[in-house]
A and B are shown apart, each in its own frame.
Chain A
Amino acid sequence: MNAMEELRAARPAHLAGGPVDPRTRQAELAHAFAQPRQVPRRGGKPLARGLSLGLAGVVAAVTAAVLVGGTARGPAPVVSPAASGTVTRPAVLSAREVLLVAAASAERRPATGDYWHVSSRSRTLQPVDEGFVISMERESESWVGAREQWGSSRILAIKPATGADRAAWEKAGSPRELTFAGRKRIPIRENGEQPHTGHTKSEEIFWLGRNVTLADLRNLPTDPRALRADLLRFHEGEDTEADVPMGEDAWLFRVAEGLIMSMPVSPEVRAAAFRMLADLPSVVSLGQVTDAAGRTGTAIAIAGTSQSKPGDTGEGVVQVRLIIDERSGRALARESVVVEPGGMQAGLAPGTVWNTDTVLEAGWTDEHP
């Protein structure tokens, strides 16, 4: 044997490979995906993609159903610009750690009462064809019983998002109605409207990739893997609302965020949902942020594509964040941040929190309106 062959044969066993420890793998991939991607620039240094350019006004608030789409296409730059507030310190815990702490806290919450009561606020920023951005703010409240439900929803304001947007609106003659995507008309509402209230008698009330009843929610598995399998039965490789491809991770994140934020599941199921998210490699932690209601929590995030604009094939990249208070085991808010402007978010600067959905209260009560 020559020296090189001898050396080859003498390689210490632990340097010969073998599988990576799953926890290490999880942590390292999450750490990597938390990095902003660099875009090569012709003849120059690479430019970090989608860096925070600040918010288009923290002022306003919301309406908006959830508009964010899938993640199957496009790059996945996961940046961490300020959420609706500011990042107060860098990520210390991994997404996995945050979610596991939240899971343990969720298990300790009591769950009794006849009606599940949720009170929330939302804000959406919408670029309009007139050349500026408006913010739409809404508050809603619901009481859900097994066979009867009550709801109330109120527009708080629809108005130019920032001072600059207001100036642009006034320059355009302060139109009372605005258009976007060439057709939809949006009325300006400087002051809040009267609430719209509703009373329904329905059984399939919640949405988990399919319509489900309160009883269905009670029967969800409390084991994270079983929960994942149960939820994935209704995953057909597409986004939940639009015909765009959507991978498993993104789809599970989408379904689980609703479950965690605003559904009356048992503490064990909520804990299982946190644990299930903890096992998704494309979920990253962004550290502490402040939500639109001024509360501090830890953001976990996943990349997604922006909702496409009618008649426009261009699409953008957004980052969907779930802000968690891991000590109480609750999700405080869901936010979507523009990473690469496009689709419905074309015209918004990267870093803009274009949609927030903030849960002010969620819990059981014995009363209804």
Chain B
Amino acid sequence: MTSDQERFTTIYDECRQRVWAYVVSRAGRQVADEVVSETFAIAWRRFDQMPQNALPWLLGVARNVLRDSIRAEARREGIQREMREWVTADVADHVAERLGVLKAMAGLTQDEREILVLVAWQGLRPRDAAKVLDCSVPAFRVRLHRARRRLQAALESPGLSRVRLVEELS
């Protein structure tokens, strides 16, 4: 292996599962491996452009791959199936709060969910999450604030989110 291939492999090992988790949270498991594989193929092609902090950049590539290669309808179906699993799998845990917040997530829009996933599940700082979405940091903060408020509201009025959930999952 060349030293570049070794560096790339290290980055792959560090980031692969996080890219996968991001794709799953956007479009479900069915398409995730395919999208991740393509993401790293592009990443190798453009290895010279990959920044030191690779994860946000990789997530941005994955985001474009999703947009360009998976139809919007397939993405929507994929994520609905995925979210159905989140709530049914977690029912077994009998953790009501967990269930509540996952249901609340299901009641949000795709864009809102994406922002919350990047921050809460991927642990990205706003600066890095803004890179993924290719927007300015101030714009990202505004969107994050709004998404957070929507999540809070959904948690506080579970009835409403359940209605949305039923609509979205049915």
> Chain B interface (Cβ within 8 Å of chain A)?
1-5, 8-9, 12-13, 16-18, 21, 24-25, 33, 36-37, 40-49, 85-86, 89-90, 97-98, 100-102, 104-105, 116, 119-121, 148, 151-152, 155
Contacts and interface: CB of A to CB of B under 8 A. Distances in A.
Contact of B155 (A6, A28, A73, A74): A6
Interface string A1-36: 111101111111011111110001101110111111
A125 to B, nearest CB: 24
13 contacts: A9-B98, A11-B121, A17-B21, A28-B37, A31-B37, A35-B45, A37-B47, A40-B48, A40-B49, A46-B46, A73-B3, A76-B2, A303-B2
- A-B pairs, top 3 by smallest CB distance, nearest first, are A32-B44, A15-B21, A76-B2
A2 B119 CA distance: 14
Contacts of A34: 41
A249 B1 contact: yes
A53 interface: no
Given A6-B98, A46-B46, 7 more contacts: A3-B148, A4-B119, A10-B97, A17-B18, A28-B12, A28-B37, A40-B48
A38 B101 contact: no
A8 B2 contact: no
Contact of B148 (A4, A281, A303): A4
Given A31-B40, A32-B8, A3 B21 contact: no
Contacts of A2: 152
Nearest to B18: A17
Given A10-B102, A20-B17, A38-B48, A28 B1 contact: no
Interface of B is mostly: helix
Contacts of A37: 44-45, 47-48
Contacts of A19: 17
Interface residues of A, number: 47
Interface string A151-192: 000000000000000000000000000000000000000000
Contact of A8 (B9, B37, B40, B120): B120
Contacts of B1: 71, 76, 247-250, 281-282
A7 B41 contact: no
Contacts of A303: 2
Nearest to A249: B1
B16 A20 contact: yes
Contacts of B17: 17-20
A39 interface: yes
A100 interface: no
Given A7-B101, A15-B121, A282 B5 contact: yes
A292 B19 CA distance: 43
Q: Name the residue among A1, A12, A250 with the largest chain B CB count within 10 angstroms.
A: A12
Contacts of A103: none
Contacts of B97: 1, 6, 9-10
A72 interface: yes
A192 to B, nearest CB: 40
Contacts of B9: 29, 281
Nearest to B82: A12
B48 A74 contact: no
A10 B101 contact: yes
Q: Name the residue among A15, A28, A33, A40 with the largest chain B CB count within 10 angstroms.
A: A15
B149 to A, nearest CB: 9
B161 to A, nearest CB: 12
Interface in A109-136: none
B101 A35 contact: no
B13 A20 contact: yes
A36 B8 CA distance: 14
Contacts of A3: 101, 104, 148, 151-152, 155
Q: Name the residue among A6, A17, A31 with the largest chain B CB count within 10 angstroms.
A: A6
B5 to A, nearest CB: 5
A72 B98 CA distance: 50
Given A12-B89, A38-B48, A72 B41 contact: no
A2 B148 CA distance: 10
B118 to A, nearest CB: 12
Contacts of A29: 8-9, 12, 40
A250 B2 CA distance: 9
Contacts of A12: 85-86, 89-90, 102
Contacts of B5: 33, 76, 281-282
Interface in A323-365: none
Interface string A56-80: 0000000000000001111110000
